[in-house]
Amino acid sequence: MTDVTEPVTAAERPERPEHHVDAPLAPPSATTGLLEVFRRRYLLRLLIRREISARYQGSFLGLLWSYINPLTQFFIYYFVMGVLFQLHKNVPVFAIHMFCGIIIVHFFNETFNAGTRSIVRNKALVQKMALPREMFPVASMLVSGYHVVPQLVIMVIACVILGWTPTFAGAVALLLALLIIATVGTAMALLFSAANVYFRDVSNVGQILTNFVRFGVPMIYPYTMVQDRFGSAAEYYLYNPVACAVLLFQKAFWVGTTDDPAQTAAEHLPSDLWAYSVLALLVGVALLCFAQLVFSRLENKIPERL
Partner 1 sequence: MSGSESIVVDQVTKSFTLRYHRTFKQMTVAALRRQEISNSFKALDDVSFVIEQGESIGLMGLNGSGKSTLLKLINGVMRPDGGQVLTRGRIAGLIATGAGFHPQLTGRENIYLNAAVLGMSEAETRRKFDDIAEFAELGKFLDSPVGHYSSGMSSRLGFAIAIHVDSDIFLADEVLAVGDKPFKQKCLAKMQEVRDGGRTLVYVSHAAGSVRKMCDRVIVLEQGRVGFDGEVNEGIKYVKYDSGDDGQENEDEELGADI
Positions in the binding site for partner 1 (CB under 8 A)? 1-5, 7-8, 10, 13, 16-30, 40, 42-43, 46-47, 50, 53-54, 57, 122, 124-131, 300, 303-304
Residue 81: CB atoms within 10 A of its CB come to: 18
Least distance in angstroms from the C-beta of 200 to partner 1: 10
> CB-based burial of residue 108 (10 Å sphere; 0-12 exposed, 13-18 middle, 19+ buried)?
buried
Q: Of 115 and 284, which CB lies nearer to partner 1 in the complex structure?
A: 115
Q: Of 229 and 301, which CB lies nearer to partner 1 in the complex structure?
A: 301
Q: Of 10 and 262, which CB lies nearer to partner 1 in the complex structure?
A: 10
Residue 104: CB atoms within 10 A of its CB come to: 27
Q: Of 47 and 247, which CB lies nearer to partner 1 in the complex structure?
A: 47
Least distance in angstroms from the C-beta of 38 to partner 1: 15
Q: Of 130 and 171, which CB lies nearer to partner 1 in the complex structure?
A: 130
- Let me know: does 239 contact 107? Beta carbons within 8 Å: no
Q: Of 47 and 96, which CB lies nearer to partner 1 in the complex structure?
A: 47
Least distance in angstroms from the C-beta of 108 to partner 1: 26
Distance CA 212, CA 227 (A): 19
Least distance in angstroms from the C-beta of 24 to partner 1: 6
Helix (H, G, I), strand (E, B) or coil at 227: helix
Least distance in angstroms from the C-beta of 34 to partner 1: 18
Q: CB within 8 A of 151, min separation 6: which ones?
A: 67, 70, 103, 106
Least distance in angstroms from the C-beta of 141 to partner 1: 19
Report in angstroms the alpha-carbon separations of 173 from 56, 180, 273: 32, 10, 10
Q: Of 201 and 260, which CB lies nearer to partner 1 in the complex structure?
A: 201
- Let me know: does 188 contact 213? Beta carbons within 8 Å: no
Q: Of 216 and 303, which CB lies nearer to partner 1 in the complex structure?
A: 303
Least distance in angstroms from the C-beta of 303 to partner 1: 5
- Let me know: does 94 contact 87? Beta carbons within 8 Å: yes
Say how many residues make up the chain. 306
Least distance in angstroms from the C-beta of 111 to partner 1: 21
On the CB side of 50, how many CA atoms lie within 13 Å of its CA?
Answer: 13
Neighbour-count burial for 171-195, b at 16+ CB within 10 Å, e otherwise: eebbebbbbbbbbbbbbbbbbbbbb
Q: Between vectors from CA 85 to CA 80 and to CA 87, what angle results, nearest 5°?
A: 100
